[in-house]
Structure 1
Amino acid sequence: MALPSTMKALVCAEPGQPMELQTVPTPLPTHGSVVIKVLAASVDPALRHILSGTFFTFPKNLVPGSRAIGRIAAVGPDTTSLAEGQLVTIEPFIRARDDPDVQILWGTFDGPTSASKKFMADNWSVASYAEYCRAPLENCYALNENVLCRELGYSYEDLLSLSKQIVAYGGFRGINLQAGETVIVSPATGMFSGAAVQVAVAMGARVIAYSRNTDGIPQLPGVVTVVNTGDAEKDTAALKQFGPVDAYLDISPAQAANSNHFRSAIMAVRPYGRVSLMGVIPRDIPVSYAHVAWNNLTIRGQYMYERQDMRSLIKLAETGKLPLGVDVTGRFTLEEHEKAVDVSREAATFVHSIPPADGRL
């Protein structure tokens, strides 16, 4: 399809500045990339904090946004498996082809090194809060539109759930979670932790959802709840009441840095059990050295996920076993981006939105 010469996009001139709706050149496909017409994008409840520059850094004149569903609009000369018109999900964890240690989060964070910052500024500074975007071939995954949208009845917004669920799925795959095992998920009511509960159940695991507030925990078969009381020993006993615990996935936000739940959950894991740490805690956590050593526990740090994890998750969704779209809370135009962020922040979850050719987001 012929690409328009210009498009509408939300631009953040520099960290700390608000997004502004602008008319900018439409990106063109290059070797190793495709151009995508954005059909649905997610609004992160922490977007204002992200764009403040106090935690994440990013280049000037950034078009934010990361998680998106779209349709291939133009392909590069070396594209072999994707074609114009195909429905795809774009995942934001981009790695340099010649050095996978150079990593960025598309539309959000240019990484900690000078190489990663240059990589994003020179190549990937236009993300999904626009009518079109350019993305690396390896970050675009074809979706079976007939199965997901027609047979299972999912909308484009529903499919955005995959972009949250993949984070937890990568953590579970990293510790080799198996069907029939029991896993603690803590916390269990946030954007990513709530998705972790859904993913673990779809993988055939039994879930102990351990959280301060149990009201927002997904109500699914195979899920039991334990309230985080702040009393480490009491909570450990409560977690153990359901029998041997095989694994623990932690996906805590920075605000949980002073919580005792890390210790409670780790102390509840059986000998030879596994722990995955995926959160953003900025300080050390209390862990019993003796308990870990004497019980042969494996503690693994996990940053995001691998490419094969994304392919596997899509296959799981196509079986109908993985629920999608349970938290779609709104649709907004590009002009309504401030309202979209407000709604997303109040709901403490992603707001999903659609940007067709008239500039809607």
Structure 2
Amino acid sequence: MTSQLPETHRALQLISTEEPLQVKSFQTPQPGPGNAVVRVLAANVISYSGEVYNGKRQYPFPRPFVPGSTAIGRIAAVGPDATTLTPGQLVLLDCTIRGRDDPTAIILSGIAQGFTEGGRKLMSGEWRNSTYAEYTKFPLENCIPLNEQRLLGSPSAGGMGYSVEDLCQISRFLVSYGGLDDIGLKPGETVIVAPATGQFGSGAVRVALAMGASRVIAMGRNEAALKQLSTLNDRVATVKITGDEKADAEALKKLGPADVFFDISPPMAAGSTHFKSAIAALRHSGRISLMGGVQADMSFFYIDFMHRNLSMKGTWMYSRAQIFNFIKLIDSGILPLGEKAGLTVSGKFGLEGWQEAFETASKAGTDETVVIAP
């Protein structure tokens, strides 16, 4: 089914990491089998976007291409095999695109082509262009329907009263949900989140609470951010990372023992002592989730790991099934968004404002969201 699409649309294009992004006009994509064309309403700007697109983080992606991230949009047109998606429908555009014939081929749309030949092929071809555009083409399975009446509707009519920009906060929580769900976090358990003072780490604290954790121990170096997290709920406790491995482990044990250690460390945390401190604070049969970006060898004491029956699992992003389960937490109000949850949209920029958007995102607090609204 096809609605009236404009002949052309505007989008940001990256030609080289050594040149500024450019706003250009492109032919508007047309829908085909397996995909939909979506009018982008608001797209997330992650805190380190500037470092991705200037080459500092050396993420692999084709050139030229249209960058982007997870976004909120409206279906503009669908391919002939769409069975439920219809023009006008509000959707979450999930940036995690997988090969249909090989689900291990994964790209992050507009961010990275992953680490396999299959991922390179996906991003170099059909899914080269992402969401920093007025219109984008996305796989049908990555267009996640949202209950517009519930999420955007007036509270007096049973709605949540969120804005479209508030819904962009979903993506930061969804990432940690994938890891916490993968290791089976259960209601009543104690979970250590480290480092918890970044946007994804603080998001993990909120998600763990929504999943029913009886205690969430937030670790980090930023004392102001830890203090802010402690005000979320009386089930949140904090431990500062001091660099003293044993002392930090003892501080954690006094609040535990913990059932789960959720790690979402950035690349610069490779030498941090918190890994061993948190592992030492786990109870027998404790579980460890790795979702960070550390690019280094890590060590642990083999016999201790074995005797305590510990398990470790790495998770990159989340599954489609997990997205739908997570959306239930949002629809139900168990995991609130927007100002009622202390979350704010600190910047909304058009395509021409991309540089200011990246700068604003790099300085944004843990509870702030920055979006590009084409």
Alignment of 1:219-258 (within 5 A): 219-221=231-233, 222-258=235-271
What is the Cα deviation at residue 305 of structure 1?
0.9
- 1:107 is matched with 110
3-state secondary structure, aligned to 1:342: helix
What is the Cα deviation at residue 52 of structure 1?
2.9
Q: Is the 8 A contact 1:104 1:110 kept in 2?
A: yes
Instruction: Tell me, in whole angstroms, the C-alpha distance in 2 between the residues paired with 1:195 and 1:140.
Output: 23
- 2:308 is matched with 295
What is the Cα deviation at residue 348 of structure 1?
5.5
Instruction: Tell me, in whole angstroms, the C-alpha distance in 2 between the residues paired with 1:87 and 1:264.
Output: 44
Whichever residue aligns with residue 273 of structure 2, its letter is N
% same residue: 46
Whichever residue aligns with residue 209 of structure 1, its letter is A
- 1:358 is matched with none
What is the Cα deviation at residue 237 of structure 1?
0.6
> Residue 10 of structure 1: which of 9, 12, 30 is its match?
12
What is the Cα deviation at residue 302 of structure 1?
1.2
What is the Cα deviation at residue 291 of structure 1?
1.7
Instruction: Tell me, in whole angstroms, the C-alpha distance in 1 between the residues paired with 2:284 and 2:300.
Output: 15
TM-score (normalizing by structure 1): 0.95
Whichever residue aligns with residue 52 of structure 1, its letter is N
3-state secondary structure, aligned to 1:315: helix
What is the Cα deviation at residue 351 of structure 1?
4.3
Instruction: Tell me, in whole angstroms, the C-alpha distance in 1 between the residues paired with 2:206 and 2:29.
Output: 36
Q: Is the 8 A contact 2:357 2:372 kept in 1?
A: no
What is the Cα deviation at residue 55 of structure 1?
2.0
Deviations 1:201-246 (A, max 9, x none): 0111120001111322433211111111110100011001123211
Q: Is the 8 A contact 1:263 1:288 kept in 2?
A: no
Q: Is the 8 A contact 2:256 2:281 kept in 1?
A: no
- 1:345 is matched with 362
Instruction: Tell me, in whole angstroms, the C-alpha distance in 2 between the residues paired with 1:19 and 1:354.
Output: 14
Deviations 1:286-320 (A, max 9, x none): 32222211100011111111111100110111111
Whichever residue aligns with residue 8 of structure 1, its letter is R
Q: Provide the aligned C-alpha RMSD in A.
A: 1.4
What is the Cα deviation at residue 352 of structure 1?
2.9
Whichever residue aligns with residue 111 of structure 2, its letter is T
- 1:23 is matched with 25
Q: Is the 8 A contact 2:42 2:165 kept in 1?
A: yes
Say yes or no: does 1:131 pair with 2:134: yes
What is the Cα deviation at residue 354 of structure 1?
5.1
What is the Cα deviation at residue 353 of structure 1?
2.9
Instruction: Tell me, in whole angstroms, the C-alpha distance in 1 between the residues paired with 2:320 and 2:284.
Output: 31
Say yes or no: does 1:88 pair with 2:101: no
Deviations 1:121-169 (A, max 9, x none): 1111111101011111111110111111111111111111111111100
Instruction: Tell me, in whole angstroms, the C-alpha distance in 2 between the residues paired with 1:260 and 1:336.
Output: 39
Gaps of at least 5 residues in structure 2 are: 154-158
> Residue 317 of structure 2: which of 304, 316, 325 is its match?
304
Q: Is the 8 A contact 1:17 1:51 kept in 2?
A: no
3-state secondary structure, aligned to 2:306: helix
TM-score (normalizing by structure 2): 0.92
Q: Is the 8 A contact 2:39 2:74 kept in 1?
A: yes
Say yes or no: does 1:336 pair with 2:353: yes
Worse-matched range after superposition: 22-31 or 319-328: 319-328
- 1:266 is matched with 279
Instruction: Tell me, in whole angstroms, the C-alpha distance in 2 between the residues paired with 1:282 and 1:353.
Output: 28
Gaps of at least 5 residues in structure 1 are: 356-360
Q: 1:16 to 1:112 in 2, by over 3 A?
A: farther
Q: 1:124 to 1:42 in 2, by over 3 A?
A: same
Say yes or no: does 1:318 pair with 2:348: no
- 1:198 is matched with 206
Q: Is the 8 A contact 1:340 1:351 kept in 2?
A: no
- 1:179 is matched with 187
Instruction: Tell me, in whole angstroms, the C-alpha distance in 2 between the residues paired with 1:256 and 1:328.
Output: 28
Q: Is the 8 A contact 1:3 1:73 kept in 2?
A: yes
Q: Is the 8 A contact 2:45 2:372 kept in 1?
A: no
Alignment of 1:19-58 (within 5 A): 19-53=21-55, 54-58=57-61
- 1:208 is matched with 217
Instruction: Tell me, in whole angstroms, the C-alpha distance in 1 between the residues paired with 2:27 and 2:268.
Output: 39
